Amino acid sequence: MGASLYEPINVYKPLAPDIGIVDGPFEYLTVGGIRMPLPFTTRMTVVRLANGDLFLHSPIKFDETLAKELHGLGTVRHLVSPNQFHYAHIAEWARAFPETISWASPHVRQRARARHIDINFTRDLEAGAPEEWRGKIDQLLFPGGYFKEFIFFHKASSTLIVTDTIINLELDKISEPWRTAAKLTGMYHPYGEIFFGMRLPLLFQRGKAKSAIGKIHSWQPQRILLSHGRWFDADTDEVIQRIFGGPPR
Ligand SMILES: [Fe+2]
């Protein structure tokens, strides 16, 4: 069986007031500038802020109809790169919506430059949430060495928004070699795990990991959104406990 999408794609799927997701088209792994025939899916999260501005977490490939739909929901304002691997479509959205602010994750500028992807990042994400969304969304920098990423929490809906920190691939929706890789690393539904590349760095960053995991527990998420695979909307306490361990003492 080949890879399959989270249909329908490129449409806003509301999950709770002021928050929803948009499942995207296939993306392809690029190695040394060459696009490999290895499709995977990715997902964007959209949050509507108190002033009507929209926060686009990990924007998927730009799509005109989707842009119009989002424009009807609010003002497309914040284009967020949560880690240095999720940024490639920000420039397309920024061109369509020139009043947007593009938020950089650590090392993303260098990565984009090295790949000749021209993005004008206007602001940098920091450990604490900026004034623009502090009232609605909290955030933290999750350690993981090279793979570190910003994790967000939408307060009103108790939704944890991760990108690659948790991967939960559905084996029947992916093709080889992803299927074997998912099985070997344990990153598949319903077991979803911390991205394998983060696991070793986490061991060397115990202090930072402890504080990030403590904060995730303190948020008490009721839903976990993620970019690759099936997201979690049930038994979230157990999922958090299983993936991150108990609250640090
Ligand atoms: Fe990713």
**Do residues 166 and 195 touch, judged by C-beta distance below 8 A?**
yes
**Cα of 164 to ligand 1 centre, how many Å?**
5
pTM value? 0.97
Q: Sort 207 into a burial class: Cβ within 10 Å, 0-12 / 13-18 / 19+.
A: exposed
The Cα-based distances of 11 to 27, 37, 44, 62, 209 in angstroms read: 17, 25, 10, 12, 35
**Cα of 213 to ligand 1 centre, how many Å?**
20
Rounded Cα distance between 82 and 88, Å, is: 12
Side chain identity at residue 125, one-letter code: L
Task: Order across the sheet with 53-57: list the strands.
Answer: 13-16, 19-31, 34-48, 53-57, 75-80, 101-104, 123-124
* Three-class DSSP category at 223: strand
Side chain identity at residue 246, one-letter code: G
**Cα of 249 to ligand 1 centre, how many Å?**
31
List all residues 6 or more positions away from 55 whose beta carbon is below 8 Å from its beta carbon: 46, 47, 48, 49, 77, 78, 80, 133, 137
What pLDDT is recorded for position 243? 97
Rounded Cα distance between 86 and 107, Å, is: 11
**Cα of 126 to ligand 1 centre, how many Å?**
20
**Do residues 21 and 154 touch, judged by C-beta distance below 8 A?**
no
**Cα of 81 to ligand 1 centre, how many Å?**
11
What pLDDT is recorded for position 30? 85
**Cα of 165 to ligand 1 centre, how many Å?**
9
**Cα of 226 to ligand 1 centre, how many Å?**
9
Rounded Cα distance between 7 and 215, Å, is: 33
**Do residues 135 and 55 touch, judged by C-beta distance below 8 A?**
no
Q: Per-residue confidence of the chain (249 residues) as pLDDT tens digits?
A: 689 999 999 999 999 999 999 999 999 988 888 898 889 999 999 999 999 999 999 999 999 999 999 999 999 999 999 999 999 999 999 999 999 999 999 999 999 999 999 999 999 999 999 999 999 999 999 999 999 999 999 999 999 999 999 999 999 999 999 999 999 999 999 999 999 999 999 999 999 999 999 999 999 999 999 999 999 999 999 999 999 999 988
**Cα of 112 to ligand 1 centre, how many Å?**
15
